[in-house]
Amino acid sequence: MRYRRAKTKGGTFFFTVVTFRRMRIFTEKSNVDLLRASLKHVIQSHPFKIDAFVLLPDHLHCIWTLPEDNSEFSTRWRLIKTRFTLSCDDQFRQAVFESRKRKKEQAVWQRRFWEHQIRDEHDFQKHVEYIHYNPVHHKYVTFPKSWPYSSFHRYVREGKYESARGMGSKIDFEDRLYGE
């Protein structure tokens, strides 16, 4: 069976991208900065909008909206992953590469990513909540506002959320739907 990805021009998509063997590479601020720079670089040459985002130690979730005339999110992910990998510290990259030599895979990331095409406003909101609550779900923090690498803070600045959102309430999500 061949996997077929959605190809909707101008579509909005939820993604889960995971590091190889769930290595906790994003506990290092330098790697967080490299990922941020890789995203910015690719956005300049292959534009898209990041609607929501969270970066955890070993994976990330995000929602992108592509330009009206384009459906190539796979190309964008390949460029981001490649740029990040090539920018990593040589010693770090070599150690990871040695463990993956036989598979001929990139040195840092799992080979594929998981995507879901957002169907409507309710689906969008459900996925945004999942993204922003994910650090709490994984028990890294008690409240969404406490996690530094999240678009939650942008939503507060833009007045879409109160900063106390998610405090005092538990939100249950079905993990199997989101590629974790």
Beta strands in 46-91 (DSSP E): 49-55, 59-65
Instruction: Report the CATH fold assignment for 12-170.
Output: Alpha-Beta Plaits (3.30.70)
Comparing CA positions, the residue from 158, 83, 107, 92 lying closest to residue 128 is 158
pLDDT confidence of residue 87:
86
The residues carrying an active-site annotation are 149
Average pLDDT, the chain: 87
- Supply the pTM of this predicted model: 0.85
Mind listing the pLDDT tens digit for each residue in 12-33?
999 999 999 899 999 999 999 9
Q: Give domain limits for the chain.
A: 12-170
Comparing CA positions, the residue from 2, 142, 134 lying closest to residue 57 is 134
Mind listing the pLDDT tens digit for each residue in 59-95?
999 999 999 999 999 999 999 999 998 888 665 666 5
DSSP state of 101: G
| CB neighbour list of residue 127: distance below 8 Å, 6 or more residues apart | 14, 52, 63, 116, 118, 178
